[in-house]
Amino acid sequence: MSRSYQSWGNYPKARNQRVIPIHWRDAFPDLQAIEGSVLAYGYGRSYGDSCLNENGTLLDITPLNRYIAFDAERGLIRCESGVLFADLLQYIVPRGWFLPTTPGTKYVSVGGAIANDVHGKNHHVAGTFGRHVTRFELLRSDGSRLVCSPTENAELYRATIGGLGLTGVILWAEFQLRRIPGPYIVQEKIRFGNIDEFFAISEDSDKDYEYTVAWVDCVSGGDKLGRGIFIRGNNAWVARVPNKSAVPKTLLTAPFDLPSFALNLHTVRVFNEVYYHALLTKVQRKIVPYDPFFYPLDAINEWNRLYGKAGFLQYQFVVPYANDRSAIKEILRQISASGVVSFLAVLKVFGDVKSPGMLSFPRPGVTLALDFPYRGAPTLRFLDRLDQIVRECGGALYPAKDARMSPQMFEASFPNWREFSQYIDPKFSSSFWRRVTGQAVSGK
């Protein structure tokens, strides 16, 4: 198994990175002795450059994959930061527990989930992952090891949750799991004809459904603008579904980088049309294993390679929407009119459960995640236009998915970044951090 130490979007590509694998939390190399800056690296599922450290060193923490303690009564687990969600699920699900919240891939580390303060389909009730972290141990470059919790080293606790790995290395973490009756989800898919219908269904669903999310067709415009399929679910009170495995095997692996023309306006238009109408009834209800419900894309190993060698950009923003839906509509109009295609478009309304993280991304509003194949300057110019709209209505971009936002856009998204920056470990840095702060710092 070879590792590339790039990011999931394959853009930008970091050069000249040294990699040091970390095998033992009690035999950590002396970070001061390393030349240049360091950054912990897990499974490389951040999309842009927040997990990269060009001309610096990456500390590969994936060998730190041991459990430390599990309180089966309370569902409190303590494990090293390199533990993979996929492995953790295999351990906890048969024991009647689930992750407090999970992103759309299970191939992330516990440390990465904290550093990016990840969110999932249950954000409206559970908040972010960081909210469920009771404590963790942080290694700083001066060799100190600090246990951080809401009551101990509380500022570092808040800075590290969503802190993009800049405050040190998380060695282990303890977090609260969620009780589940079994590995199944009662899933409902509901077709919606436009964005207003989406908001109606979403409002209605968030009260009674633990998990809500929607797929949006970003190609169609006019009165079909923002049409899509709403997916909602609750944990099913059944222990077993006949003749079905709870954890299906990975189906496919993208065998190679597809040529760049494979995903174009026409193929995506056809896909969207078929996918939208494949739902024959307006509402479809069934019991499904948790795996395809939470991780549909994990069924295709290395699906990022479908975007070809040039890679792709993920664009995820949140905009407040309390009374005004014009921003999200305007963005959907821009995308549909631009002819730029997004193969994947995921829409969700965030709740108001607050994260302890200083630099946490989710906030009340509506969030849309889009994929754009990287086609050079036109792609970047187009995203700058979207930035403008997001900024004007007080929205924010998600660092874990970003590869190109400007320092101004970052500052607008995270106005408290200067407060955060005092907790950064001086030895730690990332390509992302230098990009989004470089100008602001030198401009002082």
Partner 1 sequence: MKVLIIGATSAIAHEVSRCFAADNASLFLVARSAEKLAAIADDLRVLGAAKVETYVADLADLSTHETLIAAARAALGGIDAALIAHGVLGDQKTAQQSVTATLELFHVNAVSYISLITLLANHFEAQRQGCLAVIGSVAGERGRASNYIYGAAKGAVALFMSGVRNRLAKVGVSVLTVKPGFVDTPMTAHMKKNVLFAKPAQVGKRIYAAMLKGEDVIYVPSFWMLIMLIIRNIPERLFKRLNL
Does the protein bind partner 1 through residue 285 (CB under 8 A)? no
Whole-angstrom distance, CA of residue 233 vs CA of residue 213: 9
Positive or negative CA dihedral for 414, 415, 420, 424?
positive
Beta carbon of residue 116, minimum distance to partner 1 (angstroms, whole number):
24
Q: Do the beta carbons of residue 219 and residue 269 sit within 8 Å?
A: yes
Q: Which of 431, 391, 430 is nearest to 414 (CA)?
A: 391
Whole-angstrom distance, CA of residue 356 vs CA of residue 408: 24
Does the protein bind partner 1 through residue 2 (CB under 8 A)? yes
Q: Which is nearer to partner 1, 63 or 248 (CB)?
A: 63
Q: Which of 28, 67, 303, 417 binds partner 1 (CB under 8 A)?
A: 67
Whole-angstrom distance, CA of residue 8 vs CA of residue 40: 16
Listed ranges 67-75, 212-220, 228-236, 390-398: which one lies at the site for partner 1 (CB under 8 A):
67-75
Phi-psi region of 127 (alpha: psi -120 to 50; beta: other; left: phi over 0): left
How many Å separate Cα 62 from the centre of its chain?
18
Positive or negative CA dihedral for 84, 85, 86, 92?
positive
Q: Which is nearer to partner 1, 87 or 419 (CB)?
A: 87
Q: Which is nearer to partner 1, 63 or 438 (CB)?
A: 63
H helices present in 171-289, as ranges: 195-208, 265-278
Q: Which of 3, 285, 286, 354 binds partner 1 (CB under 8 A)?
A: 3
H helices present in 288-426, as ranges: 290-294, 326-338, 377-392, 407-413, 417-421
78 to 117: interface string for partner 1, x by CB under 8 A = -x-----------x--------------------------
Listed ranges 9-17, 51-59, 65-73, 382-390: which one lies at the site for partner 1 (CB under 8 A):
65-73
Beta carbon of residue 77, minimum distance to partner 1 (angstroms, whole number):
8
Q: Which of 18, 21, 76, 145 binds partner 1 (CB under 8 A)?
A: 21
Does the protein bind partner 1 through residue 33 (CB under 8 A)? no
Q: Which of 29, 32, 36, 66 binds partner 1 (CB under 8 A)?
A: 66
Place of tokens 């303590």: 78
For residue 130, the tally of other CB atoms under 10 A from its CB is 29
Cis peptide before 12 (omega within 30 of 0): yes
- How many of the chain's residues bind partner 1 (CB under 8 A)? 17
Q: Which of 13, 18, 55, 70 binds partner 1 (CB under 8 A)?
A: 70
Beta carbon of residue 92, minimum distance to partner 1 (angstroms, whole number):
11
Beta carbon of residue 173, minimum distance to partner 1 (angstroms, whole number):
14
Q: Which is nearer to partner 1, 65 or 234 (CB)?
A: 65
Q: Which parts of this chain interact with partner 1 (CB under 8 A)?
A: 1-3, 21, 23-27, 63, 66-70, 79, 91
